[in-house]
Amino acid sequence: MDQQRLTALELMQDGPVIPVIVLNDPAHAVPMAQALVAGGVRVLEVTLRTPQGLSCIEAIARAVPEAIVGAGTVRSAGDAQACANAGARFAVSPGYTSALGRACQELRLPLLPGVATSGEIMAAQADGFNELKFFPAVQAGGSAMLKAWQGPFGDVRFCPTGGISQGNAREFLALKNVVCVGGSWLVPVEAMEQGDWSRITALAREAVALRAV
């Protein structure tokens, strides 16, 4: 993928796993992104759970053009603006509000809104969002909930995140309404602290192989 503007669905279709990345040290951002790209994982969600999130997004956007870096834990219009300014190419939110949806639409920033209930799905769809993050997936009903939603929400595509691991990812990816999953197991904290970038590349390759479900 090049630098063209991508839809949420195109971002989800790029690979079976979107890594959910929490960075405490900005020095880890670029080598971590390079390691993931080397393993075939290009769509990266860097969360705003730490004060370093925005600077890490900016560093990756500048230094690793092969990566498609986005922002996670986006909760407000201000967050969306700050992420766009930092070079984020998409946003992921833990929940959904119309104010956030409008802000991202005005910024032309693809948004993957978080939902956990049928009412939240309907609210997001009413504002034009049909590609959604199911969060927290395991805690909110897991694959059984996604199967139940296939009937009433057959036009919605999901990225389940929250409790997804290498061990249960295939269970979710096998569902017809799941395009990809989100997970943090691709970027273990200890691997980043030790600078073990080859381990992250290996985990990325294993994640890409999950496509063959």
- Would you name the residues annotated as active-site residues? 45, 133
Phi, psi of 194 (to 5 degrees): -90, -5
Both tokens of 159, joined, read 């990225």
Cα 116 to the chain's mean position, in Å? 16
Q: Are 179 and 13 in contact (CB under 8 A)?
A: yes
Task: Report CA torsion sign: 201, 54, 158, 134.
Answer: positive
Q: Which helix (H) or strand (E) holds 132?
A: strand 131-134
Peptide bond into 110 cis (omega under 30): no
Radius of gyration over alpha carbons of the chain, in Å? 16
Given the structure tokens 């230094």, which residue do they identify?
63
| Residue 157: strand, helix, or coil | strand
Q: Which helix (H) or strand (E) holds 61?
A: helix 53-63
* Nearby residues of 132 by Cβ (< 8 Å), 6 or more positions away: 112, 113, 114, 115, 121, 124, 156, 157, 158, 159
